[in-house]
Each structure stands twice: as structure tokens, then as C-alpha cells.
Structure 1
Amino acid sequence: MPAIDLLIPTYNRPHALAVTLTGLCAQTCQDFRVTVSDQSDDLNLETVGTIQAVLRVLDAHGHAPQILKHLPRRGIAEQRQFLLEQATAPYVLFLDDDVLLEPWVLELLLTTLQREGCGFVGNPMVGLSYRDDVRPAEHQPFTPWQGRVQPETLEKDTPQWERWRLHNAANPLHLQEKFGFTPQRPCTYHVAWVAGCVLFDRTKLLDVGGFHFWRDLPPQSCGEDVLAQQRVMKRYGGCGVLPSGAYHQELPTTLSDRTHDAPNLLAV
């Protein structure tokens, strides 16, 4: 059994998915397998040559990649729960289909989570088109953890909730450059949540219910990752880690309807 089940939900993004999968081929941590849940409308990913080429490389490296067609669409929370149910490894990495990883990211996430013993650790996405857009300090509410990561509960309309601003644009890149964080000298820090690249302790995620709450949400809902992370954070703690080696491809979202936000509809 691998240490990590790497889980990727995808929808109508074959070219972005090919880039994301390519970023997995040269990871310094090779102890993972790859499962993709595909909900594309009229597209068979088995016919996309670029994706199949990368899958062959991953298979040659022993990562047993599989693409599972998962229809009908019942919302992103249900898709994540479906992926979670395929996993058996001690750790699960939820990776969006439009994120390109540096080779050291999986190793950094795994060693951090094992050292901290918390519920999750995330590598924030960086939008490199914002590299020269340095935001003011109030948009970078950066608080490193002192000691090991501990459980915490966040409430809206508090300073802690405003940590979400930390992951906008290229803020993570500017912070790691400012403080000199490297894969050899990383830093864990307080988060509200982390999007796009999050490693969970699978048992701890299951203990708070995983994404089973999808049944209580409309199919068009969003924010399922926020709710799941905050439930894990409340019981087991969670953190971000810098430096970030997760680069957002900066494509338009496939979840354009933001009306039904899971944290507004269900309790942490």
C-alpha cells in the first residue's frame, strides 16, 4: 500500500489535467498512487493523447493511475466523497485539476503532516501572473505556528477568519521570499483554509465525516473543502506550510455559481 492516495476531481479540463498529472512524474516522494474522478460531459479522457502519455509514465513509475468516470454529477462535495471512498492509504492528497507542483511538494507535505500529527496540511496555490503585485501587510495576515499544530475553531467576522486573504494572488510567494523559507527550512502557519492542494490524515478526515455532508447540500454548492477542513481543524488541527510549490494555472473556475456556500449552510 502506498503512503498517499492522490485524488483529483476533474470536469471538462483535459489540457489542464495533463499539466497537473505531468507535475507528479518527478516528485521526490514516489510513495503514492493516482486516482482521477472524471465528470466531463461529452469527453472520454482515454482518447486524449497527452493525458494517456502522462498516465503511461506514472504507471511505469509504479503509481497505478486510474481514471474513473463518475456520473451523474451531484456536486463537487459528492465527487470528493466518491474519491475518498476509493482510498485506502494512510494519507490522501486532494489536488485540483489545474495545479502544477514543484518536485518537492509531496515530500514536504508528508513529512510535515507526520511531524505535526494534525489532521491536514496544505500548500497554498500561487498565481504567478501576480508575481509583481505585492499586497499590503493587512492582506497578508501571516501567523506562524509556535510549537506543534493544535486544534482550533474559527468563527466568521473574526480576525482569524480573515486569514483567507493570505492565499490571494502571489501572497505565499512574497512571504516565502521575505522570510527565506525553503523546502529545507519550511514554516507551518495558521490558516482559515487552503485551496487546491491539501494532504489529509485519512482516518482523521473520515472521523469527522469526510464529505458525507454532500447529501445536505444542493448540487451547485461550493465551499465543501472549507467545511471539511474546518471540521478537521476543530478536532485535530490543520495548517499551511511554506514554501509553496503549487502553481495555479489561473483558468476560469468550473464552479461559477457561488450562491450556495457550504460553510454558510452547514455547521462546522
Structure 2
Amino acid sequence: MSTIDILLPTYRRPAALAVTLTSLIAQTYRDFRIVISDQTEDSNPTATGEVQAVLRVLRAHGHTVEIHKHLPRRGIAEQRQFLLEQANAPYSLFIDDDLILEPDVVEKMLVAIQEERCGFVGCAFIGLSHIDRVHPDKHNIEFWDSPVQPEVVRHHTPQWERWRLHNGANIYHIQQKLGITSANPRKYRVTWVPACVMYDTAKLRELGGFNFWRELPPEHCGEDVLAQLRVMAVYGGCGILPSGVYHQELPTTISDRLIAADNVLNWGDIVFS
């Protein structure tokens, strides 16, 4: 059994998926398995030449890769829950299919979650098309200078505004301004972290994972927000700088974003009941 299961949902993105998988080849931490769940109805992105070429390299490097065709589509929360059910490693790293990871990202996340024994750690993605758009008013970051602790963050509070840290290239500008490097990483307080999050698998499952998908219509978003709010309230969670994760900045495959899980489900009562 590997230490980490990398859980990767995908939909209609063969080229982007190939890029994301390529960035896993040179990771400095190597004890991981990859599980891909594809929900493309009318084609098979994982069978394309570019994806198959990368998968052959990953397998040649000793990584197990599992591919599931998971249909019908019932929404992204159900897709993530399906992936979580495939996990058997102590840590589950959810990454989206449109990212680029620097080589030390997986190792950095594992070190952080083992140091803190918290519920999750995340590396927020950076949109480098925004590299020349600096917004100092969005750089109000709160570092964890003590061990990461459970924290309840609710809508319409000052703490909720931390989400703005992860817009555009804000995180990149902060780490550049403060001279934060992989040799001396920093942990910081979050509302949630998008797209690249490592969970303690047992802790996420204990709090229900993404089983709330049954309470949502198929078209929804915010499933990662809700799951992280639950985990953070009981076990704590944090972001890590430098991030080392970059967004391919493709159009979203979830076009209907009117229903956000964290808005329509009363997560606080669920956690503390």
C-alpha cells in the first residue's frame, strides 16, 4: 500500500489531463498511487495518445495507475466521493485535471500534514496570466506560527474573506514579496483551498467525505468548500507557501454554478450534532 493516493477526477480534458499527469513524473516524493475517474460520456480521454504516453512513463517509474469510467454523472461531489471510496492510503491528495505541479509539491504537502496531524493541507493554484496584476489589498495573510488548530469559519465573517488570497496570482505575489521558498515553507490560515488538497483519509471519511452529494442536484459546485469546512472545524487545516501549483486557466467544465454546497447545506449542524 502506498502512503498517498492521488485522486484525480476528469471530464473532457485529455490534453490538460496529460499535462497534469506529466507534472507527477518528477515528484521528489515517489510513494504514491494514482486513481483517475473519468466521466466523459461520449469519448475516452484516458485512451488518447498523449495520456497513454504519460501513463506508460508513470508505470515505468513504479507507480500504480488505476482508471475508472464512472457514469452516470451525478455531480462533482459524487465524483469525489467515488474517488475517496477507492482510496486505501493514509493520505488522499485530490488534484484537478488542469494543474501543473512543481516537483516538490507532493513531498511538501506530506511533510506538512504529518507535522501538524491536521485534517488537510492545501497548495492553492496560481494563475500566472495575472502575474502583472498586483493587488496589495488582497495580501492580508495570517500565518500559523503555532501548531494548526481546529477552526470554525463561517460566511459573512472577516475570516471568510481569506478566500481572496487564492484569486489570480495573489499567492504568488505574497510569497515573492516575503521571500518564502521551499527551503523555509510557511503555513497559513484558510477558508478553503481549491484544486490541490491532501486530506488525512480517515479524518475525511469520519466526517462523511463527500456523501452529501445525495442532498444536491447534479449541477452544483462548492463541494470542496463544504468538505474542508467540516474537516477544519474538527481537525484543522492550512495552506502552504510557496504553492508550487499552477492553473492551466481553461474554461470550467462545471458551467452551472448557481448552487454551492456550502450555501445550501447546514454544515455546522452536521458537524457538531
What is the TM-score of this pair, normalised by structure 2? Answer: 0.96
Match of 1:220 in 2: 219
Please tell me whether residue 249 in structure 1 is matched to residue 209 in structure 2.
Answer: no
CA deviations on 1:167-196 (whole Å, 9 max, x unpaired) are: 000011111111111111000000000001
Please tell me whether residue 84 in structure 1 is matched to residue 84 in structure 2.
Answer: yes
SS at match of 2:217: coil
Match of 1:103 in 2: 103
**What is the alpha-carbon distance in structure 1 between the residues aligned to residue 253 and residue 24 of structure 2?**
22
Q: CA deviation at 1:6?
A: 0.1
SS at match of 2:18: helix
Amino acid at match of 1:243: P
**What is the alpha-carbon distance in structure 1 between the residues aligned to residue 260 and residue 203 of structure 2?**
23
Q: CA deviation at 1:267?
A: 1.7
Please tell me whether residue 59 in structure 1 is matched to residue 53 in structure 2.
Answer: no
**What is the alpha-carbon distance in structure 2 between the residues aligned to residue 258 and residue 153 of structure 1?**
24
Q: CA deviation at 1:140?
A: 2.2
Taking the TM superposition and a 5 Å limit, the aligned residue runs for 1:58-207 are 58-137=58-137, 139-207=138-206
Q: CA deviation at 1:41?
A: 2.1
SS at match of 1:133: coil
Match of 1:44 in 2: 44
Amino acid at match of 2:9: P
**What is the alpha-carbon distance in structure 1 between the residues aligned to residue 32 and residue 47 of structure 2?**
25
**What is the alpha-carbon distance in structure 2 between the residues aligned to residue 93 and residue 101 of structure 1?**
12
RMSD: 0.8
Query: Deviating runs (4+, > 6 A) in structure 1?
Result: none
**What is the alpha-carbon distance in structure 2 between the residues aligned to residue 74 and residue 149 of structure 1?**
34
What is the TM-score of this pair, normalised by structure 1? Answer: 0.98
**What is the alpha-carbon distance in structure 1 between the residues aligned to residue 242 and residue 112 of structure 2?**
12
Q: CA deviation at 1:205?
A: 0.3
Match of 1:208 in 2: 207
Amino acid at match of 2:244: G
| Conserved 8 A contact 1:141-1:165 | no
Amino acid at match of 1:233: M
Q: CA deviation at 1:45?
A: 2.9
CA deviations on 1:99-141 (whole Å, 9 max, x unpaired) are: 010000000000000001100000010001111111132x223
Match of 2:271 in 1: none
| Conserved 8 A contact 2:93-2:197 | yes
SS at match of 2:36: strand
Aligned pair count reads 267
Where does structure 2 lack aligned partners over 5 or more consecutive residues?
268-273
Where does structure 1 lack aligned partners over 5 or more consecutive residues?
none
**What is the alpha-carbon distance in structure 1 between the residues aligned to residue 39 and residue 109 of structure 2?**
27
Amino acid at match of 1:210: G
Q: CA deviation at 1:46?
A: 4.5
SS at match of 1:111: helix
Match of 1:3 in 2: 3
